[in-house]
Amino acid sequence: MNELRKDPITKRWVILALDRGKRPNDYSYKEEEKETYCPFDYGNEESTPQEVLAFRNEGTKPDSSGWWVRVVPNKFPALNGKELNKEPHGMYDKMTGYGYHEVIVETPEHNTNFSEMSKKQLKEVIWAYVKRFNEIKKDKNIKYIQIFKNKGKRAGASLKHPHSQLIATPIIPMTILDELEGAKDYYNFRDRCVFCDIIRQEIDEEERVVFQTENFLTYVPYASRFPYESSIIPKFHSDNFGELEKDDELITELAGVFYNLFRRFKRVLKDPPFNVVLHTAPFAEDTNEFYHWHFEIIPRLTNIAGFEWGTGFYINTVSPEKAAKDLRKEEEEI
């Protein structure tokens, strides 16, 4: 069974998932692609675990064709435990690998991606995120749900078919803890949400803004770690991504933002590998006043080197202002 282990120095949790080494891979060690059997294509539904959610044509059966978005448990899960047990190991701490690891198959189409999908399809993908997020949140052992997407081998994808993933964990991950701590310090000092202040300053300065809609801001962060790193953030204050469920129009608007941004990436950066990562509040913590959900989008244009690993101190060779300008100048409908 998988296991969670905690580093006693940094307090960082690590998942040991020994079976994941066996998962199939569309990419060889060299960067070219292989043509292999795809478990996410129409007709291959039996090769995944049973679906937990699907948007599908009326009258079609679960785990058969006819869906347009399909969510299944990962066949090689990072977390899969049924019981949550916490134990010491001498001076160390561990727990069972309790949690959920799901794959959101974004479309039946094998050869497409976020920069080519319709707004309608992107909206359906976001709806799948929201639905699964709010469903899994009901499990009181879960402290955080990470929704993310790896596109391309360099970004860590092992399969080419467009998909996102969801990992629900019994601990709050380190990066989120760091953000919470920083946001709370800021709130204690200024009595305002740090993200709301960033939104205010970015809209005011303009030069790092890629584009805005009524409710969302897309910008390149002031202290970007990576060239063309971008954030999508709601302009209104909200710490919980799951609240989108109440507002179909907002999801439509967010789908338009995705549509616009990924098409810009494709044109400006020649369809790069990328990661999309949702940051949202952990559960059972009172973060409502000072946390603010957002998406981080990181094009993977360069390799990460030892200096970055050793220090968490990133060297970025493209200024955020230039990155935003390059992305801004491409006209694109929303």
28 lines the binding site for its own copies (CB under 8 A) = no
- The DSSP line for 189-231 is HHSS-HHHHHHHHHHHH-TTEEEE-SSEEEE--TT-SSTT-EE
Binding mask 230-259 for its own copies (x = CB under 8 A): ------------------------------
- For residue 103, the minimal CB distance to its own copies (Å) is 12
Of the candidate residues 35, 88, 310, 331, the single one contacting its own copies (CB under 8 A): 310
Give catalytic status of residue 163 as yes or no.
Answer: yes
Q: Choose the stretch contacting its own copies; rule: CB under 8 A; options: 235-243, 253-261, 303-311, 326-334.
A: 303-311
* Integer Cα distance of 334 and 319 in angstroms: 25
CB nearer to its own copies: give 108 or 320.
320
Using rule CB under 8 A, residue 209 touches its own copies: no
C-beta of 54 vs 147, nearer to its own copies:
147
Taken as a whole, the chain contains a residue count of 334
Is 155 an interacting residue with respect to its own copies (CB under 8 A)?
yes
Q: Which residues contact 307 (CB under 8 A, 6 or more apart)?
A: 313, 315
Exactly one of 176, 232, 261, 327 binds its own copies (CB under 8 A); that residue is 176
Task: Answer yes or no: are the C-beta atoms of 3 and 96 closer than 8 Å.
Answer: yes
CA distances to 74, 109, 267, 277 from 103, in Å: 6, 15, 28, 14
Indicate which single residue of 53, 244, 257, 298 sits in contact with its own copies (rule: CB under 8 A): 298
Min CB(269)–its own copies separation in Å:
13
Provide φ and ψ at 98, rounded to 5°. -70, 140
Our CB check for its own copies shows the closer of 78 and 257 to be 78
Which residues form the catalytic set?
A: 163
